Amino acid sequence: MFIKKIVILFSGEGTNLENIIKKLHNKEFNDTKIVVSKAITNNPLANGIKRAKREGVEVEIIDHKKYTSREEFDKELVKAIKKESPDLVVLAGFMRILTPIFTENIKNAINIHPSILPLFKGANALKRSFESDMKVAGVTVHKVSSELDSGEILEQDCFKKDRLSFEEFEKRIHELEYEIYPKVIVDILIKKK
């Protein structure tokens, strides 16, 4: 039996974090067991902290407000990640702009973004995608690179916007995220992608 370790980074609600833990933590896929070895947040008040702990996953809080620059924060973050020697680093609603300190040291990181990239990069993507006159919307899983929301696209899925209310739209986006993100993680860890 092989063991593959992941570290999850989050900043807020943590519903993707919880979904990934529930579907993958300590689960076996062929001859490989996936372990979420740690979850790390920059936000001491993030709801995801309770969610991770409830599922038995250790949380480390690295409060970005205690650091004088993005680089200093990223140094601490990189150190905490490297301590775990993860096979994959999974960003799930991690709301920090990363510096080269992160991207040059952590090469195996992926992110999920609530739009069909390269459209609606950056903040408020979900709202901007909802308000656009596009007929479809969706989500993207991509590699983390030095440019925001611009790394290689690994997976995407979309749906017709029709006449969904904002609440219904948001729900559809999250449902898609919960479906595709764990699948991509498993694919990467058992080397299909």
Q: Which residues are catalytic?
A: 113
Q: How far is the CB of 114 from ligand GRF (least distance, A)?
A: 4
92: contact with ligand GRF by CB under 6 A: yes
Among 5, 13, 156, 187, binds ligand GRF (CB under 6 A): 13
Contact 80, 40 (CB under 8 A): yes
15: contact with ligand GRF by CB under 6 A: yes
Tell me the C-alpha to C-alpha distance, in Å, between residue 51 and each of 99, 118, 193: 28, 31, 29
Q: How far is the CB of 72 from ligand GRF (least distance, A)?
A: 24
What residues pair up with 38 in beta bridges, in sequence order? 7
| Contact map string, positions 166 to 185, toward ligand GRF, x by CB under 6 A | -----------x--------
- In the chain the beta strands, taken as DSSP E runs, fall at 2-10, 27-29, 32-41, 59-61, 88-91, 109-113, 136-143, 153-160
Query: What are the structure tokens assigned to 98, written together?
Result: 């990363």
Nearest residue to ligand GRF, scored by beta-carbon proximity: 93
CA distance 154 to 141: 6
Query: For 123-146, what is the HEC assignment?
Result: CCHHHHHHHCCCCEEEEEEEECCC
42: contact with ligand GRF by CB under 6 A: no
Query: What are the structure tokens assigned to 123, written together?
Result: 């903040």
Which residues inside 130-159 make contact with ligand GRF, applying CB under 6 A? none
Among 81, 84, 114, 142, binds ligand GRF (CB under 6 A): 114
Q: Which stretch binds ligand GRF (CB under 6 A): 76-84, 112-120, 146-154, 160-168?
A: 112-120
Which CB, 2 or 166, lies closer to ligand GRF? 166
